[in-house]
Chains A and B, each alone.
Chain A
């Protein structure tokens, strides 16, 4: 059944407000998505009646909160099709998930002269943790190049995989361009040489259905807030063999079995990587977001967003002076562009005056902007609640921008 965006919009209270005297047109979903009432209600219910610290206390509330928290882990296991719940580790988000692996993996498996492979289109979150770890280990960070369309060069990738490569870290979907990378093939190629692969899935899970077993990735990282859930929570999925081998990332409560001054033994998975009191409320909010998404058919959702992307591209192409940045064949609902000779900041400021929220700047992907030789772009990123009428509003807004600066 085709998606009904008008119906969906009713679930998102934040969409129904005026900004600068106009109806809000929210087209910044790659930065963060709005939250449905179901997620907001779940957070409120937790803090109203269920709040308690988990995995300890013998009392009723603690037991109930523990069950809810572990239930959320089950739901997310199903969402990613992970083999087992103990492979689902709750973190603060994709950034922390990547930092965890970069730190723990490199500490144990990366030596001086080894190489870590990332791509030219990575978000800073999938560059800097590896830079820090490589510096620490005196290893080298190598970069898979891209073409002008914003697609990874697979031949170069094959050549970069060598016997010094210890791990590949690449994004599933580019946050700045929307390109969908051929990660299944990339994982297969890396595995031929016994190299594990980490996937930054932050921009993928809101749009594509992800099956970590089918992908055969070694690590997969996601954030709740990019998929209609709360901020400050995310997941690291890992293959059990790797998670067992990695040393703990942070020390504290929850992650230990026995603590003695003579030495500490660590808890089993997934708790080994969940130091300190977890973010229970937001984990439950994340579960609500997953359930919210699961009520739609993944195919319908993708089909709707693709239709809307094509509509947006068609409408924007009518402008003579527009330069699209990134035109990958496989992409999600992201359109990055430069408009006339107008600075992205100027375009974004005037659109904001008309209640239209877009992102401008380098999108935390400075090396990518450097590749295209531009300071930044205007980025329109779509979500399940966006409509053709909103694209029309954007086009009208851009006409006004053109008149003001022209």
Chain B
């Protein structure tokens, strides 16, 4: 499934909710399900600091695909992190760099990506793109 198809899938899922509370309950559930980052990776090196909620992000590169794992100390943030990982992880650097992640806006969670929230998500997305760029450069170098 392409990134766009996955985004569409998430949008359809969120379309089922009538009110904000159901939506946030789902996010909280997603946050609880996200495979936790290995404790050994929850270190300064992988920390994306935000003034309010912290996010840890790890990226690996296997068979031309980027594999992300992440965690956050706040559950709502973690739920959104889970969505981002579901959509972006397992894709090639090129696909990740071409994605615009407009689904976040469509499911009504754009406010969490605003700078004022300072929850680490904006910087997490930047960091995901940086990883994609680095892996892309590396694989071109290897060829």
Contacts of A361 in B (CB 8 A): 51-52, 118
Contacts of A348 in B (CB 8 A): 52
Q: How far is the CA of A362 from the CA of B119 in the complex (A)?
A: 12
Residues 332-360 of chain A, each 1 if its beta carbon lies under 8 Å from chain B, else 0: 00000000001111101110010000001
Say if the beta carbon of A20 comes within 8 Å of chain B: yes
Other-chain residue from A20, A345, A375, A405 in contact with B77 (beta carbon distance below 8 A): A345
Q: Are B119 and A345 in contact (CB under 8 A)?
A: yes
Q: How far is the CA of A360 from the CA of B73 in the complex (A)?
A: 14
Q: Are A405 and B73 in contact (CB under 8 A)?
A: no
Task: Give the total number of A-B pairs whose CB atoms are below 8 A apart.
Answer: 43
Contacts of A375 in B (CB 8 A): 54, 73
Contacts of A362 in B (CB 8 A): 51
Q: Are A376 and B52 in contact (CB under 8 A)?
A: yes
Say if the beta carbon of B2 comes within 8 Å of chain A: no
Say if the beta carbon of B76 comes within 8 Å of chain A: yes
Other-chain residue from A344, A345, A353, A376 in contact with B24 (beta carbon distance below 8 A): A353
Other-chain residue from B20, B51, B54 in contact with A20 (beta carbon distance below 8 A): B20
Given A343-B53, A361-B51, A376-B52, answer yes or no on A350-B118 (Cβ-Cβ < 8 Å). no
Say if the beta carbon of A404 comes within 8 Å of chain B: yes
Say if the beta carbon of B75 comes within 8 Å of chain A: yes
Other-chain residue from A360, A376, A404, A405 in contact with B21 (beta carbon distance below 8 A): A404
Contacts of B53 in A (CB 8 A): 343, 345
Q: How far is the CA of A20 from the CA of B74 in the complex (A)?
A: 22
Q: How far is the CA of A375 from the CA of B28 in the complex (A)?
A: 20
Residues 40-80 of chain B, each 1 if its beta carbon lies under 8 Å from chain A, else 0: 00000000000111100000000000000000011111000
Chain B interface residue count, CB cutoff 8 Å, equals 17
Residues 313-347 of chain A, each 1 if its beta carbon lies under 8 Å from chain B, else 0: 00000000000000000000000000000111110
Chain A's interface size range is: 10 to 19
Q: Are A346 and B74 in contact (CB under 8 A)?
A: yes
Contacts of B28 in A (CB 8 A): 346, 404-405
Q: Are A345 and B52 in contact (CB under 8 A)?
A: yes
* Residues of A369-394 contacting chain B, CB below 8 A: 375-376
A260 to chain B, nearest CB (A): 46
B54 to chain A, nearest CB (A): 7
Given A345-B119, A375-B73, answer yes or no on A360-B52 (Cβ-Cβ < 8 Å). yes
Q: Are B76 and A346 in contact (CB under 8 A)?
A: yes
B111 to chain A, nearest CB (A): 9
Contacts of A345 in B (CB 8 A): 52-53, 74, 76-77, 119
Q: Are B51 and A405 in contact (CB under 8 A)?
A: no
Q: How far is the CA of A345 from the CA of B53 in the complex (A)?
A: 6
Q: How far is the CA of A342 from the CA of B28 in the complex (A)?
A: 11
Q: How far is the CA of A400 from the CA of B75 in the complex (A)?
A: 15
Interface-centre pick from B28, B53, B54 (highest chain A CB count, 10 A)? B53
Residues 6-38 of chain B, each 1 if its beta carbon lies under 8 Å from chain A, else 0: 000000000000001100110010000000000
Q: How far is the CA of A132 from the CA of B28 in the complex (A)?
A: 42
What residue in chain B is nearest A353 (Cβ atoms)?
B20
Contacts of B21 in A (CB 8 A): 353, 400, 404
Contacts of B112 in A (CB 8 A): 349
Q: Are A343 and B73 in contact (CB under 8 A)?
A: yes
Q: How far is the CA of A405 from the CA of B75 in the complex (A)?
A: 9
Given A343-B73, A345-B74, answer yes or no on A350-B51 (Cβ-Cβ < 8 Å). no
Q: Which residues of B contact A (CB under 8 A)?
A: 20-21, 24-25, 28, 51-54, 73-77, 112, 118-119
22 residue pairs bridging A and B, Cβ less than 8 Å apart = A342-B75, A343-B53, A344-B52, A345-B52, A345-B74, A345-B76, A345-B119, A346-B75, A346-B76, A349-B76, A353-B20, A353-B21, A360-B52, A361-B51, A361-B52, A361-B118, A362-B51, A400-B21, A404-B24, A404-B25, A404-B28, A405-B75
Going nearest first, the 10 A-B pairs with the smallest beta carbon separation are: A343-B74, A345-B74, A345-B53, A345-B52, A361-B52, A346-B74, A346-B76, A353-B20, A349-B76, A361-B51
